[in-house]
Chain A
Amino acid sequence: MKNKKLAIPSAIYVALCFIFLYLPIVVTMVFSFNSSKSLTSMTGFSMQWYARLIEDGSIMKAVYVSVSIAMFATIISTALGTITAIGLSKCKKVLKDVIINLNDIPIMNPDIVTAIGLMILFSSITLEKGYLTMLLSHIAFCTPYVLTSVYPKVRNLDPNIAEAALDLGATPFEALTKVIIPMLKDGIFAGMLLAFTMSFDDFVISYFVTGNGVQNISIIVYNMTKRTNPTINALSTIVILIIAITLIVINVMPERFKNFMKYFAAGLFAAGLIVTVFTGFAGTQRTLRVYNAGEYADPSVLESFEREYGARLIYETFDSNESMYTKVKSGAQYDIIIPSDYMIERLINEDMLKPIDWSKLTNADGLDPAIMGFDFDADNTYSVPYFVGTVGILYDKTVIDEEDLSEGWELLRNEKYKGNIYMYDSERDSFMVALKALGYSMNTDNKDEIDEAYRWLIEQRDRMDVVYAGDDVIDNMISGNKALAVVYSGDAAYIISENENMGYLEPSQGTNEWCDSMVITKDCEDEELAHEYIDYMLSYDAAYANSAYVGYSSPITEVSNELSEEDYEGIDAYVPDFGYELNESFRYQETSIKQYFADLWTKVKAY
């Protein structure tokens, strides 16, 4: 009956579909061998990202978390889903409808809603966030998929078969395991596969329900967006190869080896279980919970801190101040957090921080006095600077006329450069640009001024064909895609070091002077260790390593001098001009004003 050969048009179609599905994967693999950080242009062959992958303990730990959670969640949800599907076919109609409809909720709900719901739930029953909460959540969203795959198969079963088994003397348990379940094999297998896939790939839900340093691959990847690098491509290349090899081995292997493989897999699984249980009892070492932005510290610095102080770091990363705040507010506990200026002010206002004991910080002398005492924490009672910088315009010297530079922020509305401009996809930074261009304070709460800034942005958007880009700006500007972009000084320094055609302009109308600082939370138990950590980050070696790794300016005078003479020689963006009269730093906004900005920003973007 069936065509044994693939007709040529069909073969072409199948090939096209697979090219479409595999193109991104091939690209991922190719760039894992890139010699530079770029993800758009190959500069040469190198294995450095593989080396870095093996060195980076946090990625290896994430792999372990992703795989083990996916395995546990798959097994538990498959069992639960299958049993329920079988029971469901025998239920009263009302109960059946209730269960089917409830079962749809996790599938239908947007991930983010499920995530927030679970997060609130776990906080309100004070369940400590971590491996267990992540596993429970994964079971919660995987089981419905198993049920929906198995239940149709149950419906198609001939009910007489089970009856027959019972009549022939089988116990209900035997009827279940020996007759029904084997007949549902296909559905169960499909459900398992789906559950594993969903769990392994999940980002949003895991992100909200986890804590205490438990992170899966997706969370690591997302937090890397600030500074994407091919390490993660190297990881996925390895994952792809493992999957491909496993599948080939299974398909080619002779039958008798399959049993052996089953035991081998079971053994591996048991080993994984034991390791999971034991990592829970890590001993009585001093531990410190640090919450930092993604890719914001050199991993080797963290390791040497652990070695020198005999302490264990639980190091977690976030992608934005806001998600950090949401997480902390929902009950996640940390000893040290490294947020930005306005967020620190908010944390101070909400009485969430402990004062710093400056007498314990032996390296504090190295701090540049110019970047101390920002308005958000005028006498540095609560915060110790970590990285500093400004926001400015990155411009292509070969395209932009020198004389146009005097326009400052208005350069972004110069029609000569229409369609040639990236704005930064950030509400506060975009409004900062508009407010500064109009000569207002960027912390204004005057609605007339805000409305004027809103009209400035709308006009700019319509006149200039603006693209609001995220951190991909870095890569795009290195490749010289557009002539103008609003960027942070640290990113500008990195871009200029890779593409010397670019220049950095800090408009004289004033700009945002930002300062990311280390703070100690009220949850901190080991203040001694917290101060040791902060002090260590201020030491010359650590600050140098971090600044060289991240590319942002160090608040340690000696380090920034040294680096601006070495790696970033001749790049003024590395040491931005502080103390322009009109420069400001962001202040915390009241909820009502924040909401006002957010609504306007939605209107600017959604068109």
Chain B
Amino acid sequence: MKHFSKLVRPYLVWMVLIVVLPLLLIVLYSLTTGGNELVNISFTLDNFKKIGEPVYFDVLKKSFTLGIASVLICLVCGYTLAYIISRQNEGIQDLLILFVTIPMWINTLLRTYAWISILSDNGLVNKLLVLLGFAPANLMYTDIAVLLGLVSDMLPFMVIPIHTSIRKIDPSLIEASHDLGADNIQTFIKVIFKMSIPGVINGVMMTFLLSISTFVIPKLLGGGQYMLIGNLIETQFISVGNWNFGSATSIILTLIIIIGMSLMRKFDREKED
């Protein structure tokens, strides 16, 4: 069986070339000044110091608040949905999961444009409000719009892994729990939820990553005044052209995410041991 371990070699080489090497280039950029040409570079930590400035710090803070809020909404809605789905017949389960997957195949940009049509000042929601005799609400360019866009984009990424892990649970465990006198709620908390934690962690990781690094959704639904860390990086690389600061910001983001993820993974492992 040991010789199976050789199977990882191609991927290891591949990753060094196409994952590690580009990342090293970015680290190099973040530690230097001298713009986009690597001709006359000089090393500096200024790019990192700049992130400490209040404006950029606020951007970081806002990104995290919004990221966590959208992940929580996804988790609550997504878990409920995944749980309900898992209680159905096999055939119906497959069908429902399929329907959860389909929206992921439709271009995110397009779905976000559609949210503009729904939320804008004379969009669908406001037309409905007026029809029902309410005053129209200002929905576009608010936190609500961005949250709606994010959640509808990310919900499938939460539902699918959770559903997979709930489905894996051996039904006899649940029966055993009932036989041992646990009621539905106890069974849910102590058996089902506990055993679905790997799926929850997978889902939380995916959605958190998506929400924290996104720039298209806040740009379209939050308006130009909506600056998240993804937007900051994008602006630095594309419109400002300060690749050095952009690289430093992305390194910080990557570091924070890696720390967060390793904590979660550790939690995951302890659970299983």
Q: What is the interface of chain A, defined by CB distance below 8 A to chain B? A: 1-4, 6, 10, 13-14, 17-18, 20-25, 27-28, 31, 39-41, 80-81, 83-84, 86-92, 95, 99, 102-114, 116-118, 120-121, 124, 136-137, 140, 143, 147-148, 152, 159, 162-163, 166, 172, 176, 186, 190, 193, 197, 200-201, 203, 217-218, 221-222, 228, 232-233, 236, 239-240, 243-244, 247, 251, 320, 322-323, 325-326, 329, 423, 425-427, 461, 466-470, 472, 475-476, 479-482, 591, 594-595, 598-599, 602-607
Contact = CB atoms under 8 A, between A and B. Distances in A.
Given A3-B87, A103-B15, A197-B104, 13 more contacts: A14-B84, A23-B118, A40-B123, A113-B250, A113-B253, A140-B19, A236-B107, A322-B238, A322-B241, A425-B224, A594-B241, A598-B239, A605-B226
Contact of B250 (A6, A17, A110, A469): A110
Interface residues of B, number: 111
A69 B114 CA distance: 26
Contact of A116 (B26, B55, B102): B26
A221 B107 contact: yes
22 contacts: A6-B84, A24-B112, A31-B114, A40-B122, A80-B11, A109-B254, A110-B212, A110-B229, A112-B250, A113-B254, A116-B26, A116-B247, A140-B18, A143-B14, A190-B160, A200-B105, A322-B238, A461-B225, A469-B141, A470-B219, A479-B121, A481-B122
Contact of B114 (A25, A83, A89): A25
B103 A90 contact: no
B49 interface: no
B237 interface: yes
B180 interface: no
B42 interface: no
Contact of B26 (A41, A113, A222): A113
A479 B20 CA distance: 50
A292 B213 CA distance: 28
Contacts of A2: 87-89, 171
B109 A218 contact: yes
B266 interface: no
A102 B171 contact: no
Contacts of B21: 121
Contacts of A25: 103, 106, 111, 114
A91 B5 contact: yes
Contacts of A136: 18
A598 B244 CA distance: 14
B223 A606 contact: no
Classify the interface of chain A: helix, strand, loop or mixed. helix
Contact of B5 (A39, A87, A603): A87
A264 to B, nearest CB: 20
Contacts of A102: 12, 15, 19-20
Given A83-B7, A200-B105, A40 B117 contact: yes
A81 B155 CA distance: 25
Nearest to B9: A87
B133 interface: no
Contacts of B72: none
B215 A112 contact: yes
A24 B152 contact: yes
Nearest to A166: B1
Given A110-B250, A117-B26, A233-B110, A1 B224 contact: no
Contact of B240 (A105, A107, A251, A598): A598
B52 to A, nearest CB: 14
A325 B6 contact: no
B22 to A, nearest CB: 3
Contacts of B18: 118, 121, 136-137, 140
Contact of A322 (B15, B23, B141, B239): B239
Contact of A22 (B81, B85, B95, B103): B103
A28 B241 contact: no
Contacts of A232: 110
A117 B114 CA distance: 31
A468 B242 contact: no
Nearest to B167: A186
A239 B141 contact: no
A594 B240 contact: yes
A3 B89 CA distance: 8
A114 to B, nearest CB: 7
Contact of A201 (B5, B95, B102, B107): B107
A605 B224 contact: yes
By CB atoms of chain A within 10 A, which of B9, B106, B121 has the most?
B106
Nearest to A5: B88
Nearest to A598: B240
A294 to B, nearest CB: 12
Given A28-B111, A113-B250, A17 B81 contact: yes
Interface in B56-75: 56, 58-59, 62
A18 B15 CA distance: 38
Interface string B88-104: 11000001101111111
B109 A222 contact: yes
A112 B87 contact: no
A603 B58 CA distance: 10
A528 B140 CA distance: 50
Contacts of A461: 225
Contacts of B197: none
Contacts of A239: 105-106
Contacts of B59: 602, 606
A468 B231 CA distance: 14
A143 B11 contact: yes
Contacts of A594: 240-241
B7 A86 contact: yes
B223 A602 contact: no
Nearest to A232: B110
A184 B44 CA distance: 49
A329 B36 contact: yes
Contacts of A228: 113
A38 to B, nearest CB: 9
A111 B213 contact: yes
A203 B216 contact: yes
Most B Cβ at <10 Å: residue of A112, A140, A203, A222: A112
B235 A602 contact: yes
B4 A87 contact: yes
B8 interface: yes
B89 A4 contact: yes
Contacts of A18: 99
